[in-house]
Chains A and B, each alone.
Chain A
């Protein structure tokens, strides 16, 4: 599925956060969004998953303007894993994942055997089957994010948005989560902080700087010394390893 944004603008009071951002992700493409803190990555993604409504511009899912879809319809096409997931209440892991089925449910419809099967399958994909009856709040950060990913999988959407899902996770769990995502057969748009991780997983990268796209392309083309100097104001050295992958060393 294609997802694209066209000329997205958003201002808080007088501060313009997004100054006309257009990007697009093709079918089954893994698109990364990088940029310094405050560049508008999260704001842009929030516009795409409808938590914020942009002041101008439009988001399209397979050509359909997002505003023409109901929330249920958009939640059947696009699932989200975001950074903050803390609950005051104790849900079991299975209950949390089961909520991923709600966009597929009519008002009074009950959860059926198929929903439960989908939940089990999603838990298995993220390697959390053994935790199904555990209390969500007793899990570690990495485990919680995997459960949230399972919830997104239970939505069975052709598109997945990752809003810095690996914040607060150590390198093991960052890699683990993104590797699971990489095996999925879906379009992915992910805001990623760590440039090396972005280089590892993305098919294409957009660079966001102060609410504008400052560059885009394959990781090897975008992640250059000059670009990193310009955007992040740090010196770096770009190394290709034996497999031809890009690594960034900060000096």
Chain B
């Protein structure tokens, strides 16, 4: 028996050190991805120049001071870099939101896009762009409206799914789809009525998802928001784990999750609002990334949250790079690209029986 205990302890230590190792590797991978991603783009800029600009701006090295202005500086520092940072933030946010929403609805098929929260955010933003609703809220009012839209839809979807008995995955996804359709229809309606070409192009960019509007002003708001929310969720790993066991079991384990659920929904709406504000609608990231991490490292949120956050950022940085270089002289909306990868994964998860669609084997 003692041997057993020793070996158990060993596997524990092994698991923990493996987790730390992977965490460090992913963090390193993220830094490398950022550094690599800024070298891709339409403008032909040599590696040396790119990194000279980085050396000048990030490390404040005197040696590169000649790169502190000019077109090379502008392309690298004012266009590419904030864009990569934004991709990082959005990828992290969407993955973490996916994890949290999956815990809230106790089903691995949840995702901000599938539950209609992204559409809600998009509708809020459409209101702001096309009709100027909420402009009194200041410079980032489009983002705030996106958050408001996201929050209203997440509570609405939860409420609809809970009508007439407990929510199950089927009801949630139907409710999400329905609310999402309503929001899209409303957005289209507003675009149709207002008929302003510039604004229409802007809204189009949003519904397809793109990071091309990135600038430092936006990145400076969104990255901290996503980072803070992610850290908060990481500290909540115990409650998130309990959430998967259900309300009754969590009460017997000393936690009433009712309040947590509301707070988590609000926080994840903040993230989705920020992500949609930054990049429009990008689906399935929150579905695919947590799923991959779960296969490799299990369901414990202590590991799931940070690993998903890192992998999600790396994934979206490279998806954005791909969307920039796949088509010659044009940019493919990243939302389309990600959906092309994500939607089949969703179908696969839906079909795979072991995932207990709607309560499953019980």
Contacts and interface: CB of A to CB of B under 8 A. Distances in A.
Contacts of A86: 356, 359-362
Interface residues of A, number: 41
Interface string B290-303: 00001000111000
Interface string B243-255: 0110111011111
Interface stretch (A67-75, A211-219, A236-244): A67-75
Nearest to B244: A89
A95 B362 contact: no
A71 B256 contact: yes
Given A51-B252, A107-B235, A129-B4, A88 B355 contact: yes
Contacts of B176: none
A12 to B, nearest CB: 13
A79 B252 CA distance: 6
A102 B251 contact: no
A124 B360 CA distance: 30
B4 A71 contact: no
Secondary structure class of chain B's binding surface, majority of residues: helix
Given A95-B298, A107-B235, A129-B1, A71 B244 contact: no
Interface in A106-127: 107-108, 116, 120, 124
Interface in B1-50: 1, 4-5, 8-9, 11-12
A89 to B, nearest CB: 4
A99 interface: yes
Given A84-B362, A88-B356, A133 B11 contact: yes
B16 to A, nearest CB: 10
A49 B252 contact: yes
Nearest to B4: A129
A13 to B, nearest CB: 15
Given A92-B298, A95-B299, A116-B9, A72 B1 contact: no
Interface of B: 1, 4-5, 8-9, 11-12, 106-108, 169, 235, 238, 241-242, 244-245, 247-249, 251-256, 294, 298-300, 355-356, 359-362
6 contacts: A71-B251, A89-B294, A95-B241, A99-B253, A102-B253, A103-B255
